[in-house]
Amino acid sequence: MKAIVLNEFGGVDQLVITDVPKPTVKEDEVLIKVIAISINPVDVKTRAGKGIAGRLRDNRPLIIGWDISGTITELGEQVTDFKIGDDVFGMVNFPGHGKAYAEYVAAPASQLAVKPATVSHQEAAAATLAALTAYQAFMHKAPVQPGQRLLIHAAAGGVGHFAVQLAKHLGAYVIGTSSAANKEFVLSLGADEHIDYTTERFEEAVSDIDLVLDLVGGQNIVRSLEVIKSGGTLISIPTGISDELAAQAKANDVTAFFFLVQSNGVDMQQIATLLDQGALKSHVSQTYSFDNMEKAHLQQETGKTKGKLVITLD
Protein backbone atom coordinates (compact mmCIF):
# COMPACT_ATOMS: atom_id res chain seq x y z
CA MET A 1 0.00 0.00 0.00
CA LYS A 2 0.99 3.61 -0.31
CA ALA A 3 1.85 5.64 2.77
CA ILE A 4 3.46 9.01 3.30
CA VAL A 5 6.64 8.22 5.18
CA LEU A 6 8.57 10.85 7.10
CA ASN A 7 12.21 9.97 6.49
CA GLU A 8 13.63 12.80 8.60
CA PHE A 9 12.00 15.56 10.63
CA GLY A 10 12.06 18.73 8.54
CA GLY A 11 10.27 20.50 5.71
CA VAL A 12 7.41 19.30 3.52
CA ASP A 13 9.95 17.66 1.19
CA GLN A 14 10.39 15.00 3.89
CA LEU A 15 6.83 13.73 3.28
CA VAL A 16 7.49 10.97 0.76
CA ILE A 17 4.89 8.67 -0.81
CA THR A 18 6.35 5.19 -0.32
CA ASP A 19 5.22 1.57 -0.81
CA VAL A 20 5.06 -0.12 2.58
CA PRO A 21 3.45 -3.40 3.74
CA LYS A 22 -0.24 -3.21 4.66
CA PRO A 23 -0.53 -3.23 8.47
CA THR A 24 -1.49 -6.48 10.21
CA VAL A 25 -4.19 -6.16 12.87
CA LYS A 26 -3.69 -7.05 16.52
CA GLU A 27 -6.50 -8.84 18.41
CA ASP A 28 -8.16 -5.60 19.53
CA GLU A 29 -7.69 -3.71 16.25
CA VAL A 30 -9.53 -3.28 12.97
CA LEU A 31 -8.05 -2.56 9.55
CA ILE A 32 -9.53 0.49 7.89
CA LYS A 33 -9.41 1.36 4.20
CA VAL A 34 -8.92 5.08 4.55
CA ILE A 35 -11.19 7.44 2.61
CA ALA A 36 -10.35 10.76 4.29
CA ILE A 37 -7.60 12.08 6.58
CA SER A 38 -7.67 15.39 8.40
CA ILE A 39 -4.64 17.57 9.07
CA ASN A 40 -3.81 19.36 12.32
CA PRO A 41 -1.16 21.80 13.53
CA VAL A 42 0.41 18.88 15.45
CA ASP A 43 1.02 17.14 12.12
CA VAL A 44 3.11 20.02 10.84
CA LYS A 45 4.83 20.62 14.19
CA THR A 46 5.76 16.93 14.46
CA ARG A 47 6.93 16.81 10.85
CA ALA A 48 9.26 19.69 11.70
CA GLY A 49 10.68 17.86 14.75
CA LYS A 50 8.48 19.58 17.38
CA GLY A 51 4.94 18.61 18.47
CA ILE A 52 5.13 14.99 19.59
CA ALA A 53 8.27 14.21 17.55
CA GLY A 54 10.12 13.26 20.74
CA ARG A 55 7.72 10.35 21.34
CA LEU A 56 8.08 9.06 17.76
CA ARG A 57 11.78 9.46 17.10
CA ASP A 58 12.59 5.73 17.18
CA ASN A 59 9.70 4.52 14.99
CA ARG A 60 10.60 3.37 11.46
CA PRO A 61 9.00 3.73 9.03
CA LEU A 62 7.55 6.83 10.65
CA ILE A 63 4.07 7.62 9.35
CA ILE A 64 2.48 10.65 10.99
CA GLY A 65 -1.21 11.62 10.98
CA TRP A 66 -3.97 10.60 13.38
CA ASP A 67 -7.39 11.56 12.01
CA ILE A 68 -9.18 9.18 9.69
CA SER A 69 -12.51 8.11 8.31
CA GLY A 70 -12.92 4.96 6.21
CA THR A 71 -14.32 1.45 5.91
CA ILE A 72 -13.40 -1.63 7.97
CA THR A 73 -11.87 -4.42 5.87
CA GLU A 74 -10.53 -6.75 8.61
CA LEU A 75 -11.31 -7.45 12.27
CA GLY A 76 -8.95 -8.53 15.04
CA GLU A 77 -10.06 -11.70 16.87
CA GLN A 78 -11.35 -9.89 19.95
CA VAL A 79 -13.31 -7.18 18.14
CA THR A 80 -17.06 -7.55 18.61
CA ASP A 81 -18.35 -3.96 18.37
CA PHE A 82 -17.78 -3.55 14.63
CA LYS A 83 -18.18 -5.62 11.47
CA ILE A 84 -16.45 -5.66 8.09
CA GLY A 85 -17.95 -2.97 5.89
CA ASP A 86 -18.71 -0.55 8.76
CA ASP A 87 -17.80 3.06 8.04
CA VAL A 88 -15.88 4.36 11.05
CA PHE A 89 -13.92 7.41 12.11
CA GLY A 90 -11.55 8.34 14.91
CA MET A 91 -8.27 9.75 16.15
CA VAL A 92 -5.84 6.84 16.13
CA ASN A 93 -3.24 6.33 18.88
CA PHE A 94 -2.79 9.96 19.86
CA PRO A 95 -0.40 10.96 21.36
CA GLY A 96 1.53 8.07 19.78
CA HIS A 97 2.27 6.56 16.40
CA GLY A 98 -1.00 7.08 14.49
CA LYS A 99 0.24 6.03 11.03
CA ALA A 100 -2.76 7.72 9.46
CA TYR A 101 -1.11 9.01 6.28
CA ALA A 102 -1.72 5.69 4.54
CA GLU A 103 -4.18 3.78 2.39
CA TYR A 104 -4.83 1.34 5.24
CA VAL A 105 -4.63 1.98 8.97
CA ALA A 106 -4.76 -0.54 11.83
CA ALA A 107 -6.62 1.10 14.72
CA PRO A 108 -7.75 -0.10 18.17
CA ALA A 109 -11.51 -0.64 17.98
CA SER A 110 -11.78 1.17 21.34
CA GLN A 111 -10.77 4.45 19.66
CA LEU A 112 -13.41 4.47 16.90
CA ALA A 113 -17.07 5.26 16.33
CA VAL A 114 -19.42 4.36 13.50
CA LYS A 115 -19.65 7.28 11.07
CA PRO A 116 -23.21 8.60 10.93
CA ALA A 117 -24.73 8.14 7.46
CA THR A 118 -25.68 11.84 7.58
CA VAL A 119 -22.06 13.02 7.38
CA SER A 120 -19.50 12.49 4.64
CA HIS A 121 -16.15 10.77 5.23
CA GLN A 122 -14.51 14.19 4.79
CA GLU A 123 -16.69 15.76 7.50
CA ALA A 124 -16.17 12.75 9.76
CA ALA A 125 -12.36 12.80 9.38
CA ALA A 126 -12.44 16.51 10.25
CA ALA A 127 -14.36 15.84 13.48
CA THR A 128 -11.68 13.79 15.23
CA LEU A 129 -8.63 15.39 16.95
CA ALA A 130 -10.04 18.92 16.79
CA ALA A 131 -13.54 17.92 17.87
CA LEU A 132 -12.20 15.60 20.61
CA THR A 133 -10.10 18.45 22.01
CA ALA A 134 -13.15 20.69 22.34
CA TYR A 135 -15.24 17.77 23.67
CA GLN A 136 -12.70 16.66 26.28
CA ALA A 137 -12.15 20.28 27.39
CA PHE A 138 -15.83 21.13 27.86
CA MET A 139 -17.16 17.75 28.99
CA HIS A 140 -14.34 16.33 31.13
CA LYS A 141 -11.71 18.93 32.02
CA ALA A 142 -13.90 21.96 32.81
CA PRO A 143 -17.53 20.86 32.38
CA VAL A 144 -19.45 23.75 30.84
CA GLN A 145 -22.65 24.84 32.60
CA PRO A 146 -25.60 26.65 30.99
CA GLY A 147 -25.27 30.41 31.28
CA GLN A 148 -21.49 30.43 31.76
CA ARG A 149 -19.56 33.11 29.87
CA LEU A 150 -16.91 31.56 27.64
CA LEU A 151 -14.14 33.25 25.68
CA ILE A 152 -12.83 31.06 22.84
CA HIS A 153 -9.66 32.28 21.12
CA ALA A 154 -9.08 31.25 17.48
CA ALA A 155 -12.77 30.46 17.19
CA ALA A 156 -12.54 30.09 13.39
CA GLY A 157 -9.88 27.37 13.44
CA GLY A 158 -10.03 23.60 13.67
CA VAL A 159 -10.59 23.26 17.42
CA GLY A 160 -12.25 26.66 17.79
CA HIS A 161 -15.07 26.07 15.34
CA PHE A 162 -16.08 22.88 17.14
CA ALA A 163 -15.61 24.52 20.55
CA VAL A 164 -18.02 27.36 19.71
CA GLN A 165 -20.70 24.95 18.52
CA LEU A 166 -20.29 22.63 21.51
CA ALA A 167 -20.32 25.47 24.03
CA LYS A 168 -23.54 26.82 22.51
CA HIS A 169 -25.04 23.32 22.56
CA LEU A 170 -24.23 23.19 26.29
CA GLY A 171 -26.02 26.49 26.87
CA ALA A 172 -23.06 28.82 27.38
CA TYR A 173 -22.74 32.47 26.34
CA VAL A 174 -19.90 32.44 23.81
CA ILE A 175 -17.47 35.15 22.76
CA GLY A 176 -15.16 34.14 19.92
CA THR A 177 -12.03 35.82 18.56
CA SER A 178 -10.78 35.79 14.97
CA SER A 179 -9.77 38.29 12.31
CA ALA A 180 -12.51 40.33 10.62
CA ALA A 181 -12.41 37.99 7.62
CA ASN A 182 -13.86 35.19 9.78
CA LYS A 183 -16.33 37.29 11.81
CA GLU A 184 -19.44 36.08 9.97
CA PHE A 185 -18.19 32.50 10.12
CA VAL A 186 -17.71 32.66 13.91
CA LEU A 187 -21.15 34.21 14.41
CA SER A 188 -22.69 31.60 12.08
CA LEU A 189 -21.34 28.89 14.41
CA GLY A 190 -23.54 30.37 17.13
CA ALA A 191 -21.17 32.76 18.94
CA ASP A 192 -23.02 35.54 20.77
CA GLU A 193 -20.21 38.04 20.35
CA HIS A 194 -17.16 38.39 18.14
CA ILE A 195 -13.88 40.18 18.77
CA ASP A 196 -11.52 41.02 15.92
CA TYR A 197 -8.13 40.45 17.54
CA THR A 198 -6.41 42.52 14.86
CA THR A 199 -8.18 45.74 15.83
CA GLU A 200 -9.38 45.19 19.41
CA ARG A 201 -7.69 44.10 22.61
CA PHE A 202 -10.00 41.44 24.00
CA GLU A 203 -9.19 42.37 27.61
CA GLU A 204 -10.66 45.82 26.94
CA ALA A 205 -13.78 44.34 25.31
CA VAL A 206 -14.80 41.60 27.76
CA SER A 207 -14.71 40.77 31.45
CA ASP A 208 -16.33 38.43 33.98
CA ILE A 209 -15.46 35.30 31.99
CA ASP A 210 -16.01 31.87 33.58
CA LEU A 211 -13.84 29.91 31.15
CA VAL A 212 -11.24 30.83 28.52
CA LEU A 213 -10.25 28.24 25.93
CA ASP A 214 -6.98 29.53 24.55
CA LEU A 215 -5.96 28.13 21.18
CA VAL A 216 -3.34 30.80 20.36
CA GLY A 217 -0.66 30.60 23.06
CA GLY A 218 2.12 33.05 23.96
CA GLN A 219 1.01 36.36 25.43
CA ASN A 220 -2.61 35.50 24.67
CA ILE A 221 -2.61 33.11 27.64
CA VAL A 222 -1.16 35.71 30.00
CA ARG A 223 -3.59 38.39 28.80
CA SER A 224 -6.50 35.99 29.18
CA LEU A 225 -6.02 35.91 32.96
CA GLU A 226 -7.16 39.54 33.09
CA VAL A 227 -10.69 38.74 31.92
CA ILE A 228 -11.43 35.66 34.03
CA LYS A 229 -13.49 36.09 37.16
CA SER A 230 -12.52 34.70 40.54
CA GLY A 231 -13.23 30.96 40.58
CA GLY A 232 -12.95 30.76 36.77
CA THR A 233 -10.82 28.54 34.54
CA LEU A 234 -8.15 29.00 31.88
CA ILE A 235 -7.41 26.09 29.54
CA SER A 236 -4.27 26.48 27.49
CA ILE A 237 -4.34 24.14 24.52
CA PRO A 238 -1.19 25.01 22.48
CA THR A 239 1.37 25.09 25.32
CA GLY A 240 1.92 24.29 28.97
CA ILE A 241 1.46 26.78 31.79
CA SER A 242 4.65 28.47 33.03
CA ASP A 243 5.37 28.62 36.76
CA GLU A 244 4.92 32.38 36.61
CA LEU A 245 1.49 32.07 34.99
CA ALA A 246 0.47 29.35 37.45
CA ALA A 247 1.40 31.68 40.33
CA GLN A 248 -0.55 34.58 38.80
CA ALA A 249 -3.56 32.32 38.20
CA LYS A 250 -3.47 31.16 41.80
CA ALA A 251 -3.31 34.75 43.03
CA ASN A 252 -6.40 35.53 40.89
CA ASP A 253 -8.25 32.43 42.18
CA VAL A 254 -8.24 31.00 38.63
CA THR A 255 -7.68 27.33 37.78
CA ALA A 256 -5.23 27.24 34.86
CA PHE A 257 -4.03 24.12 33.07
CA PHE A 258 -2.86 22.53 29.82
CA PHE A 259 -4.11 19.20 28.61
CA LEU A 260 -3.30 16.92 25.72
CA VAL A 261 -6.18 15.30 23.85
CA GLN A 262 -6.30 11.49 24.08
CA SER A 263 -7.77 8.88 21.71
CA ASN A 264 -11.12 7.74 23.11
CA GLY A 265 -13.86 5.78 21.33
CA VAL A 266 -16.53 6.58 23.92
CA ASP A 267 -16.00 10.30 23.33
CA MET A 268 -15.96 9.64 19.56
CA GLN A 269 -19.39 8.00 19.84
CA GLN A 270 -20.72 11.11 21.57
CA ILE A 271 -19.25 13.25 18.80
CA ALA A 272 -20.88 10.96 16.23
CA THR A 273 -24.25 11.53 17.93
CA LEU A 274 -23.74 15.32 17.99
CA LEU A 275 -22.82 15.27 14.28
CA ASP A 276 -25.85 13.14 13.46
CA GLN A 277 -28.14 15.50 15.41
CA GLY A 278 -26.66 18.52 13.64
CA ALA A 279 -25.46 20.00 16.96
CA LEU A 280 -21.90 19.84 15.57
CA LYS A 281 -20.97 20.42 11.95
CA SER A 282 -17.50 20.13 10.44
CA HIS A 283 -16.41 23.01 8.27
CA VAL A 284 -13.97 21.62 5.70
CA SER A 285 -12.44 24.65 4.01
CA GLN A 286 -10.17 22.76 1.60
CA THR A 287 -9.67 19.20 0.41
CA TYR A 288 -6.50 17.85 -1.19
CA SER A 289 -5.54 14.60 -2.90
CA PHE A 290 -3.12 12.21 -1.14
CA ASP A 291 -0.25 13.31 -3.39
CA ASN A 292 -0.88 16.93 -2.40
CA MET A 293 -0.11 16.44 1.31
CA GLU A 294 2.67 19.00 0.96
CA LYS A 295 0.17 21.69 0.00
CA ALA A 296 -2.09 20.82 2.92
CA HIS A 297 0.86 21.14 5.32
CA LEU A 298 1.87 24.49 3.84
CA GLN A 299 -1.69 25.80 4.28
CA GLN A 300 -1.93 24.46 7.85
CA GLU A 301 1.37 26.16 8.66
CA THR A 302 -0.05 29.59 7.80
CA GLY A 303 -2.05 29.58 11.06
CA LYS A 304 -4.92 31.11 9.07
CA THR A 305 -6.95 28.00 8.25
CA LYS A 306 -10.72 28.32 8.55
CA GLY A 307 -12.18 25.09 10.01
CA LYS A 308 -10.38 21.99 8.77
CA LEU A 309 -8.19 20.70 5.94
CA VAL A 310 -8.90 17.21 4.64
CA ILE A 311 -7.04 14.79 2.36
CA THR A 312 -9.28 12.61 0.22
CA LEU A 313 -8.20 9.15 -0.99
CA ASP A 314 -10.10 7.56 -3.86
Ligand X SMILES: NC(=O)c1ccc[n+]([C@@H]2O[C@H](COP(=O)([O-])OP(=O)(O)OC[C@H]3O[C@@H](n4cnc5c(N)ncnc54)[C@H](OP(=O)(O)O)[C@@H]3O)[C@@H](O)[C@H]2O)c1
* Rounded CA separation 157/303 (Å): 8
* Rounded CA separation 273/256 (Å): 30
82: contact with ligand X by CB under 6 A: no
Residue from 9, 82, 173, 197 in contact with ligand X (CB under 6 A): 197
CB of 94 to ligand X, least distance (A): 8
Residue from 6, 15, 42, 167 in contact with ligand X (CB under 6 A): 42
Of 2-10, 113-121, 139-147, 151-159, the window that binds ligand X (rule: CB under 6 A) is 151-159
Are the C-beta atoms of 73 and 84 separated by less than 8 Å? Answer: yes
Of 9-17, 25-33, 103-111, 148-156, the window that binds ligand X (rule: CB under 6 A) is 148-156
Are the C-beta atoms of 69 and 88 separated by less than 8 Å? Answer: yes
157: contact with ligand X by CB under 6 A: yes
Nearest to 187 by CA among 206, 168, 211: 168
* Rounded CA separation 213/137 (Å): 8
Residue from 64, 75, 154, 268 in contact with ligand X (CB under 6 A): 154
Determine the length of the chain.
Answer: 314
How many residues lie near ligand X (CB under 6 A)? 29
Are the C-beta atoms of 89 and 107 separated by less than 8 Å? Answer: no
268: contact with ligand X by CB under 6 A: no
Of 29-37, 66-74, 289-297, 299-307, the window that binds ligand X (rule: CB under 6 A) is 299-307
CA distances from 213 to 2, 60, 128, 154, 187 (A): 38, 36, 18, 9, 17
Residue from 25, 29, 41, 271 in contact with ligand X (CB under 6 A): 41
Residue from 38, 111, 122, 178 in contact with ligand X (CB under 6 A): 178
Of 23-31, 112-120, 173-181, 247-255, the window that binds ligand X (rule: CB under 6 A) is 173-181
* Rounded CA separation 26/108 (Å): 8
Nearest to 69 by CA among 35, 93, 43: 35
133: contact with ligand X by CB under 6 A: yes
The footprint of ligand X (CB under 6 A) covers 40-42, 129-130, 133, 153-154, 156-160, 177-179, 181-182, 197, 215-216, 237-238, 260-261, 303-306
